[in-house]
Amino acid sequence: GRDFSYNGIMGPKDWSTEYSSCKGKHQSPINIDILHVKKVKLPSLNLHNFNKIPNITHIENNGHTVYFTIDTEENIPTIDGGPLSSSYQFSQLHYHWGDNDSYGSEDSFNGKYFPMELHVVFFKQEYKNIKEAMLKSDGLAVMAFFFEVSKPNPAYQELSLLLNTIQKPHTKANLTTPIALQDFIQTANTHEYYVYNGSLTTPPCLEVVTWLDFYDPIQISHDQLESFRQLEDLEGNSLSHNFRPVQPIGDRIVWFTSD
């Protein structure tokens, strides 16, 4: 069928006609009602190889978002601990944002949105690859980081310039100075986070994701955010509204841990 979009034909309300999981009971994103979050003590969440610099870092505009993958067999970033039963391997990272600074994140907190959200996507290593992992209820873990408009973030300076070179969908670029995964999340504190079970926020909306939503926001300037908004989608419009509306929380509990 036709590709999904964020407005008009095949917008979020129509996704379930082609992807039945999109009308499931454990969908993402959600609004997190801070008063109803349950505090929980969990083992510490461990990040491995986040400081290793990969050989090549690709960046691509796929018409829905901008995403990064790394070309390396060695020192692949992984996470374990926290709510995770075993080790999860890095697959890709990407962003969701709005056309102005008042919204753009997917999850919201007490109805409040952030202007951009970073998703760092991992799959459970024992399932061998992301395709296999997407068929299992505990297949994926996504680290979500929220941006607040503030001073320019030096780690996003080269990225902002590179975004200008991949304005058209299905264009790619390589970073001249490869960056470590840690640089994308800066010094964000990874000890305080919300946890809940949900889905991919785009078709096929599979309910296979352990969401880790970090409390500490990442800083970015208004101009740096604008470099995301000048990307183009598949219809030649500004790629500047690529977040799904919040979905019912249903019977789910959101946990909060501070390690």
Q: In angstroms, how far is CA 73 from the centroid of its own chain? A: 23
Total residues belonging to the chain: 259
Binding of residue 241 to Zn ion (CB under 5 A):
no
Query: Min. distance of Cβ 201 from ligand BO1 in angstroms?
Result: 4
Closest-by-Cβ residue to Zn ion is 119
| Tokens found for residue 174 | 């390589």
Helix (H) or strand (E) holding 66: strand 66-70
Cβ contact 155:177 at 8 Å = no
Contact with ligand BO1 (CB under 6 A): which of 200, 220, 225, 231?
A: 200
Cβ contact 193:180 at 8 Å = no
Query: Min. distance of Cβ 107 from ligand BO1 in angstroms?
Result: 11
Residue 45 forms beta bridges with which residues? 81
Pairing of strands 78-81, 218-220: unpaired
With CB under 5 to 8 Å by kind, the binding choice for 91 among Zn ion, ligand BO1, none is: ligand BO1
Contact with ligand BO1 (CB under 6 A): which of 19, 80, 97, 119?
A: 119
With CB under 5 to 8 Å by kind, the binding choice for 166 among Zn ion, ligand BO1, none is: none
Buried b / exposed e across 143-154, counting CB within 10 Å, b at 16+? Answer: bbbbbebeeebe
With CB under 5 to 8 Å by kind, the binding choice for 205 among Zn ion, ligand BO1, none is: none
Binding of residue 254 to ligand BO1 (CB under 6 A):
no
Give the residue numbers marked as catalytic.
64
99 to 128, contacts with Zn ion by CB under 5 A? Answer: 119
Q: In angstroms, how far is CA 218 from the centroid of its own chain? A: 13
- Say how many C-beta atoms besides its own lie within 10 A of residue 103's C-beta: 16
Binding of residue 92 to ligand BO1 (CB under 6 A):
yes
Site string for ligand BO1, 202-241 (x = CB under 6 A): x---------------------------------------
Region of 4-12, 70-78, 146-154, 197-205 interacting with ligand BO1 (CB under 6 A): 197-205
The half-sphere exposure of 134 on its side-chain side, counting CA atoms within 13 A, is 12
Please give the residue ranges that form the binding site for Zn ion (CB under 5 A). 119
Please give the residue ranges that form the binding site for ligand BO1 (CB under 6 A). 91-92, 119, 121, 130, 142, 200-202
